[in-house]
């Protein structure tokens, strides 16, 4: 399976019969700007920090289409720590895309580096995902759809290009906007500039705030480390837990409340959504799902072209 069960597993999606109520009904006819979803043999490149939401979206999309979620295609997890260095994130994703291009040219399987989602050094969690060549999944053209399950993430997608495949990603700046989109456009997303947003995935994976605290604690002591963290996050007034519907919020509240107390911040919750992930994985693709054709590079302009 492609999601973790313990200790930071997502909530069970046992109520599959309720899934259609959480997915927007697709239009009867796909007219512009709508387009069908991914073709056969699609490959998903996803940030490990949104593991819960990716798993839920795949399962909900499969329930809508009457298929097995485990047959959704190849899934490669990207180390969450790469987000701290967008250029490294971009280089890593380009490496994955290049290997898929090479596989299309040679007709051989692609070996893609992945990680097992969780905490700890990525080097200890590494694994390899074998992706069959496009011809093994379809008799169509050698190209396939590469679904990027993450936001633009500080130019982490800037310049990505594939020679043979379409690059497809949600039109959002980052994963916060991804989960605060309830079916609107990027420009209509409402964000609180004074809220430090998090999800269960943020708490269950390595993140820079916690890593900094550990480093400061070791170097300066617990009290000084707490003061440094408060200074670093001085612009924030509250910690806001996003309920994406993909995990047990009640079980996550003690940890998120503790994080807020450490910073002397108010704690709030806000409803979220995984509708854009569902559209990414199953369609229809509308103005909020960007489709970049082979040979075209992703640029910041794609965020502004609805």
Give mean pLDDT, residues 133-154: 77
Cβ-based neighbours of 219, under 8 Å, separated by 6 or more: 225
Residues 10-24: tens digit of each pLDDT: 333 333 333 333 333
Residues 276-291: tens digit of each pLDDT: 999 999 999 999 999 9
Residues 243-252: tens digit of each pLDDT: 999 999 999 9
Sheet holding 195-198, edge to edge: 195-198, 238-243, 266-271
Contact call for residues 242 and 179 (beta carbons, < 8 A): yes
pLDDT at residue 301 in the model: 95
pTM attached to this predicted model? 0.84
The confidence band for 137, taking pLDDT boundaries of 50, 70 and 90, is very low
The confidence band for 141, taking pLDDT boundaries of 50, 70 and 90, is low
What is the spatial distance between Cα 7 and Cα 9, in angstroms, rounded to a whole number? 6
Residues 25-64: tens digit of each pLDDT: 333 343 345 568 888 889 999 999 999 999 999 999 888 8
What is the spatial distance between Cα 247 and Cα 289, in angstroms, rounded to a whole number? 24
The confidence band for 8, taking pLDDT boundaries of 50, 70 and 90, is very low
Q: What are phi and psi of 160, to 5 degrees?
A: -60, 140
């Amino acid at each position: 399976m492609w999601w973790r069960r313990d200790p930071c597993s997502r909530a069970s999606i046992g109520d599959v019969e309720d899934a259609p109520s959480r997915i927007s009904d697709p239009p009867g006819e796909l007219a512009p700007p709508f387009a069908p979803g991914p073709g056969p043999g699609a490959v998903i490149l996803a940030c490990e920090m949104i593991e819960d939401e990716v798993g839920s979206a795949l399962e909900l999309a499969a329930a809508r289409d009457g298929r097995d979620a485990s047959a959704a295609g190849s899934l490669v997890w990207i180390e969450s720590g790469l987000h701290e260095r967008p250029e490294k994130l971009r280089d890593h994703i380009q490496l994955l895309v290049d290997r898929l291009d090479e596989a299309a040219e040679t007709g051989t399987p692609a070996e893609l580096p992945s990680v097992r989602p969780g905490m700890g050094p990525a080097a200890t969690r590494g694994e390899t995902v074998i992706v069959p060549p496009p011809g093994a999944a379809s008799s169509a053209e050698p190209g396939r759809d590469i679904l990027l399950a993450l936001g633009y993430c500080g130019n982490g997608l800037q310049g990505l290009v594939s020679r043979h495949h379409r690059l497809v990603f949600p039109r959002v700046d980052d994963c916060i906007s991804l989960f605060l989109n309830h079916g609107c456009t990027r420009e209509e997303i409402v964000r609180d500039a004074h809220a430090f947003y998090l999800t269960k995935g943020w708490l269950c994976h390595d993140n820079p705030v916690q890593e900094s605290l550990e480093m400061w604690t070791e170097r300066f002591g617990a009290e000084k480390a707490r003061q440094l963290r408060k200074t670093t996050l001085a612009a924030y007034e509250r910690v806001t837990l996003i309920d994406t519907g993909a995990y047990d919020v009640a079980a996550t509240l003690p940890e998120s409340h503790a994080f807020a107390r450490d910073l002397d911040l108010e704690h709030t919750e806000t409803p979220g959504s995984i509708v854009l992930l569902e559209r990414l994985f199953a369609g229809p693709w509308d103005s909020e799902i960007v489709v970049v054709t082979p040979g075209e590079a992703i640029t910041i302009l794609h965020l502004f072209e609805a």
